[in-house]
Amino acid sequence: MVAIPTETVYGLAARADLAESVLKIFRAKGRPANDPLIVHIADIGELDGVASEVPPGAKALAEAFWPGPLTLVLPKRPCIPPETTSGLETVAVRMPSHPVARAVIRAAGVPLAAPSANPFGRTSPTCVAHLDPGMMAQVDGYVDGGPCEVGVESTIVGFFGGRPVLLRPGGLALEEIESVVGRVGLPEKKNAKIVAPGQMPSHYAPRTPLRLKGDPEAVEGPEAARLLFGGAAAPGECAGWRNLSPAGDPAEAARNLYRMMRELDAVGARVIVADLLPDEGLGRAVNDRLRRAAAH
């Protein structure tokens, strides 16, 4: 079990085909057993080895965006144990673009399960300095591949009845996906069943309570820290502040998100008050992480 870099965030990697290896990941992270893992492959030709069926739309997306920050949820093959998929008959698969991640997968010779390398529910690490010491005490080692280029987890798309559904916004914009497969549906809110990784309502949170600008509990002042975006003016008296992207670039905001959340977590504020981004492009993914971090 080794922490490895990907272009999105650092992942905690172990063999996806061995139940005992996968269970080590769940224990180290404190991850609930009903939250499935993403299986990582090194080459597109390996997809048929883990998925029993690849609809035409999924194949088109893989050819267009792999390697990259896109995860596909597809029917699984028996070689992927139920511990990896939390008992689901589907498997979440992606091919990372980080050359170190793919080199490790090739060296292992098998697909690797690799959720974000953080204690469950906390902010994901985008460099080795952010790996949690308590969790790493249970891990065999890490590979330092430098800071992550994207900074938020992958976009997850499922295929149910052949129709693509956005299960989690992430490092690949919905608009790019729809340019290949047409309109992508959204999961029904009334269906609370988890069908893919990263669907927990509360997740990605710093230890300091995070609230969204405009929330009744988002009281500003000397005990509050501020997480800004774009041309927002520097706040007055506050415990500390960061701007995800003064230029208003959602991609820059995604790269900075977890690092800046961690930096504000360290200033001793009573609360972190965060601005939302325009809900488009990668702003959709950043907003998703902020909303989950603020869930309580």
Please check whether residues 12 and 141 belong to one and the same domain: yes
Establish if 106 belongs to a structural domain: yes
Establish if 165 belongs to a structural domain: yes
The pLDDT of residue 94 is 98
Domain of residue 45, CATH code: 3.90.870.10
Please check whether residues 135 and 258 belong to one and the same domain: no
Does residue 202 surpass a pLDDT of 90?
no
Please check whether residues 113 and 254 belong to one and the same domain: no
Q: What is the mean pLDDT of the chain?
A: 95
Please check whether residues 111 and 35 belong to one and the same domain: yes
pLDDT tens figures, 110-135: 999 999 999 999 999 999 999 999 99
List the structure tokens of 97.
């673009």
Q: What percent of the chain stands above pLDDT 70?
A: 98
3-state secondary structure 1-55: CEEECCCCCCEEEEECCCHHHHHHHHHHHCCCCCCCCEEECCCHHHHHHHECCCC
Establish if 193 belongs to a structural domain: no
Establish if 192 belongs to a structural domain: no
Q: Do 225 and 208 touch, CB atoms closer than 8 A?
A: yes
Confidence of residue 154 (pLDDT cuts 50, 70, 90): very high
pLDDT tens figures, 56-76: 999 999 999 999 999 999 999
Please check whether residues 177 and 237 belong to one and the same domain: no
pLDDT tens figures, 243-268: 999 999 999 999 999 999 999 999 99
Please check whether residues 174 and 214 belong to one and the same domain: no
70-75 and 155-160 beta bridge pairing: parallel
Establish if 203 belongs to a structural domain: no
Please check whether residues 171 and 231 belong to one and the same domain: no
Task: Kindly give, in sequence order, each residue whose CB lies less than 8 Å from that of residue 120, ignoring residues fewer than 6 positions away.
Answer: 29, 30, 31, 32, 35
Q: In this structure, which amino acid lies at residue 72?
A: L
Residue ending a domain, among 181, 200, 221, is 181
The pLDDT of residue 203 is 84
Query: Residues 83, 38, 164, CA angle at the centre, nearest 5°?
Result: 115
Please check whether residues 28 and 146 belong to one and the same domain: yes
Residue ending a domain, among 139, 160, 181, is 181
Confidence of residue 233 (pLDDT cuts 50, 70, 90): confident
The pLDDT of residue 191 is 54
Confidence of residue 10 (pLDDT cuts 50, 70, 90): very high
**Is residue 283 classed as helix, strand or coil in its secondary structure?**
helix
Establish if 257 belongs to a structural domain: yes
Confidence of residue 148 (pLDDT cuts 50, 70, 90): very high
Report how many domains make up the chain.
2
Q: How far is CA 103 from CA 76, 113, 188, 214, in A?
A: 24, 15, 38, 45
State mean pLDDT over 76-93: 97
Q: What percent of the chain stands above pLDDT 90?
A: 87
Establish if 190 belongs to a structural domain: no
The pLDDT of residue 190 is 55
Please check whether residues 122 and 257 belong to one and the same domain: no
The pLDDT of residue 186 is 87
Structural domain boundaries, residue 15: 2-181
State mean pLDDT over 213-222: 90
pLDDT tens figures, 185-199: 987 765 567 888 887
Establish if 135 belongs to a structural domain: yes
Please check whether residues 24 and 100 belong to one and the same domain: yes
Please check whether residues 102 and 245 belong to one and the same domain: no
Q: Could you report how far apart the first and last alpha carbons of the chain are, in Å?
A: 31
Domain of residue 214, CATH code: 3.40.50.11030
Residue ending a domain, among 144, 162, 181, is 181
Please check whether residues 120 and 158 belong to one and the same domain: yes
